[in-house]
Structure 1
Amino acid sequence: MLKISIITVTRSRPQLLARAIGSLKAQTSQDFEWIVVNDGEDTATEQIVRY
């Protein structure tokens, strides 16, 4: 089966990143890899991704 790669670039938008995570978790297919690129220096983004 084909694995899907999702790349998200974010910068100081933790609320929208949390929303994106919720959307990905709700997908019926779980065969994907998700790459998050933090283009800022905030720590909230890292905390949300680790959650």
Structure 2
Amino acid sequence: KPSPCRFTPSCSNYALEALEKHGFFKGTALSARRIFRCHPFGAFGHDPVPD
């Protein structure tokens, strides 16, 4: 079964990686921004956590 997430990595994996790389505050902000971009009319594809 394919993943319902529009992006790779999935939003949950993205959030974990963002928190590990950037800490609580910036990681949470990056995760929230990613979740708000996840909708039927938005982009899709590979979207890695920025360095």
Normalising by structure 2, report the TM-score. 0.33
Quick check: which has more Rg, 1 or 2?
1
Normalization by structure 1: what TM-score? 0.33
Q: Which has the higher helix share?
A: 2
* Larger strand percent: 1
Q: Which has the higher contact order (CA 8 A, sep 6+)?
A: 1
